[in-house]
Structure 1
């Protein structure tokens, strides 16, 4: 690997806001895949602007390798309204400064494949961008980056405005792309799927961790366990996150055994994320037996059919995810359940005890003249969540509003903070049904973890439409899909089944055709035959056994070092042996990881 970008003792701040980054030194290699995480306002986007050299640091310096080609997607961009998709994607006006003058443009077929992957198959290359929605313009800009070759691709929230299928396609596209990648995103599944290193922006500096979101959570919990015993509440939340990661879908459990053992030691006494049976009983007590009954419902959005003769029931304590492409009608369905629109035919029966709270994608009008705590107490001073009662201030703290921010005027809040305030005001009203439309928009990973922790003990019905795969797998117990044909389809296999239906790829654990099971067939596009894959798995198991033996040997040497602490000659001898064992174990772990990457899933 070759170094392409360096930050040397860089500091950056903005006027009255004070410093965001202080004395930061980082290096970026040409094959790095880095995910950037941190609280809203911590300085993630500022870090990206420094990396691209679109902003200069206050102190220190940022250096690029000569002739480095950088392509980046900022959060806010402006496209000329009279420009066409072809102008943006194949033109030079928007990207010329960052990409340089010389390019090898992709052919129209390649451009079409990228637009299709980003969920824009309906657009022609000559379509003007002026009439497009903000999400469509952002996807066109993303396509403009992806058709180009770049040494460094920097993306600020690229999954915004992408549906589940689009996020899945983008992850696979980036995994097959050469060059370095730096991405800021709140999409935790995407971080795990794409990134091999995590940068956490916090406390005016940047901490680097090996691995994606799951590895970052584990390393962060371990660091706090050792160094921050005073943060007991936060530690418990992180440990619960790890418990979810360990108990989650099979893709997450295919981690090295020696890393799983470390996680198990942390979560040995952590219960499952939620007690489903108890929550069902509580929900039934609050809601009765009826929540929503749809009987032969027909529903349209303009001329488009969303539901056609659909019969469906949502019961007390159900946790339902609605999946579908952008424009499939997820929001329209939620608005129907919220009573904001009526069916065009059939009947919607809503239980008499239902008190629904609808979180829309738009930021509802908030009382800008009030302060944060006053805005929450305007709804309720005390809130009962499950079997516990908390104050408005305690609820606000769950959503990241500390004592200082409680007295901030609502009008001074950022977009992410306003989204958090909107959600906690809904919960303060003590609804028994939550209808959530893209609830993860503008929320950082810590706030998402806190929200999921709160929902774990929430005894009510949840219907959520989201492109956030992690949230859906974490919060929902069942999934239904809208496929644009008027049906609402139950998906027992969840997101994997949805992607299999929309992309034609077999779901994990399923075989597309009998030929795919033949021993000579390549496995999952990796170039490895089924027989080779079986041998590789045997080698993987052998390496795991070797790691286990070396761990035992290391533990024995540590015991001997403790027993011979006063014998300096013996200590030197044992320390040399320990160094050798650790080096050998590290070498075998690297071999395990390299082999694991080659073996197809399944």
Structure 2
């Protein structure tokens, strides 16, 4: 057979973290080297990094290629924006902040971009961390007081449809469609969606919640908001708590569908403080990607992404101190996701996020939990720990429990307890022998010396090109060709350097 080309459009939509991870591994192993090609359109940044070796950005009616996945694209775009700083200052600062997080954040991150580490560090040398956690925590405490929401020893049980008809799926306190599907597995009496959950939410807490579809995440959020009443246990809410939820349904915009964006915003407060600066709602809209012309557009004529941005802004202008985001990345492109994350970085309240977008979870939250077999479990190792638990559960199911349909449910014992630690779940990885490690270390040193030499040659060429006569097109062309050849050698060595580094870890 000849070479195959496969096209995928938003393949991660409606997939949970486990499904997205499986799909990435499947695509990476689908073809042997140089025997197939994959073209994917997606806004899932982790998926881009995991699968793609080249990224194309479509903007201003042109297609601009970048080497590598999302992380490498961010670096190259930052460099492009740096050269045009006068025109692109706002986008440059945002991308530099994004790059700073990529280099400093998420200890569990394993994907490594194909670019020089020292070049990346130089670009972000003066970029502060995404959030000043101490200052935000102080602000959150002053606005919230000590108590936010305390969920203590709570269990939630919904009647089975076989017993109660539609009673479990109607009314304000019913489960979501996914949770109801999980609850309907019982044939008599009720089915427990959550069991013995204790969660003391602190002021300024930023928590991401993971779980397979139907695990009970929406039911858990319902306990926080008061939409779901516990079957047993106790839920206590602080007196100063003001909760807002960014839903997937855009219900907040239904009553203002025929109004212009500027009129809708004008009905809210006249100013908003973000990052220590006072901004008008119009300035906030511009920060979220609205042009001046779009401010006169009726809400009903906005695109899906623009409606999501307006929805978020209206919620923030109501000044809640507890914000719940339910799949907030739907309909947003990568630029708007970065802008939303940048805005949330300066928001001092308590943030609870349910999402299958791994990048978003790691970017805006400081800790992650999972709903596993009805239990609420802390994940010190973040998304990576969750995936290890899921993989261990799936392998155990395949080996000896053919009746289980939910791999994470199989990871718990009959009482619902999850495995003790991520270390217990982590499979052992093959290590290099002593001779192989010494050879790899020797090659690594040689590669580093070559990288330094090539970097110096490219720097010298840059100096020569800068001093050359701008009208000498032929001479500049030859210099550019030399630089391109050196850059190709540099890229190949960087890839080898990363491979060796990973092998020696």
Q: TM-score range by the shorter chain?
A: 0.7 to 0.9
Q: In the alignment, which residue of structure 2 is the partner of 1:589?
A: 491
2: CA distance, partners of 1:359 / 1:230 = 33
Alignment of 1:162-201 (within 5 A): 162-178=15-31, 179-201=36-58
Q: In the alignment, which residue of structure 2 is the partner of 1:480?
A: 369
1:544 counterpart = 2:431: no
SS in 1 for 2:196: strand
2: CA distance, partners of 1:223 / 1:460 = 35
Q: In the alignment, which residue of structure 1 is the partner of 2:139?
A: 282
2: CA distance, partners of 1:285 / 1:435 = 20
Q: CA deviation at 1:575?
A: 11
* 1:441-465 C-alpha deviation (Å, 9 max, x unpaired): 1111011100111111111100101
SS in 1 for 2:150: strand
Q: In the alignment, which residue of structure 1 is the partner of 2:229?
A: 342
2: CA distance, partners of 1:385 / 1:562 = 41
Alignment of 1:91-110 (within 5 A): none
1: CA distance, partners of 2:361 / 2:74 = 19
Gapped regions of structure 2 (runs ≥ 5): 158-174, 184-190, 396-418, 470-474
Q: Relative to total residues, which structure has the larger helix share, 1 or 2? A: 2
**Aligned residue among 319, 323, 339 for 1:430:** 319
SS in 1 for 2:87: coil
SS in 1 for 2:353: strand
1: CA distance, partners of 2:210 / 2:382 = 9
**Aligned residue among 482, 493, 497 for 2:385:** 497
Alignment of 1:437-448 (within 5 A): 437-448=326-337
1:154 counterpart = 2:56: no
Q: CA deviation at 1:237?
A: 0.8
1:399 counterpart = 2:303: no
Gapped regions of structure 1 (runs ≥ 5): 3-29, 31-150, 567-571
SS in 1 for 2:200: strand
Q: What is the TM-score when the length of structure 2 is the normalising length?
A: 0.78
Q: In the alignment, which residue of structure 2 is the partner of 1:218?
A: 75
Q: In the alignment, which residue of structure 2 is the partner of 1:265?
A: 122
Q: What is the TM-score when the length of structure 1 is the normalising length?
A: 0.66
1:292 counterpart = 2:149: yes
1:420 counterpart = 2:420: no
Stretch moving more, 335-344 or 454-463: 335-344
1: CA distance, partners of 2:424 / 2:196 = 33
**1:389–1:209 distance in 2 versus 1, CA, 3 Å:** same
1: CA distance, partners of 2:426 / 2:259 = 61
**Aligned residue among 217, 237, 253 for 1:330:** 217
Q: CA deviation at 1:284?
A: 0.6
2: CA distance, partners of 1:470 / 1:221 = 19
2: CA distance, partners of 1:513 / 1:531 = 26
SS in 2 for 1:306: strand
SS in 1 for 2:86: coil
SS in 2 for 1:349: strand
Q: Which has the higher contact order (CA 8 A, sep 6+)?
A: 2
Q: CA deviation at 1:274?
A: 0.8
Q: In the alignment, which residue of structure 2 is the partner of 1:233?
A: 90
CA RMSD of aligned residues (A): 3.2
Preserved CA contact (<8 Å) 1:384 1:430: no
Aligned length: 437
**1:533–1:370 distance in 2 versus 1, CA, 3 Å:** farther
SS in 2 for 1:231: helix
Q: CA deviation at 1:403?
A: 0.5
Q: In the alignment, which residue of structure 2 is the partner of 1:385?
A: 274
Preserved CA contact (<8 Å) 1:174 1:194: yes
SS in 2 for 1:230: helix
**1:181–1:310 distance in 2 versus 1, CA, 3 Å:** same
Preserved CA contact (<8 Å) 1:322 1:466: yes
1: CA distance, partners of 2:222 / 2:466 = 66
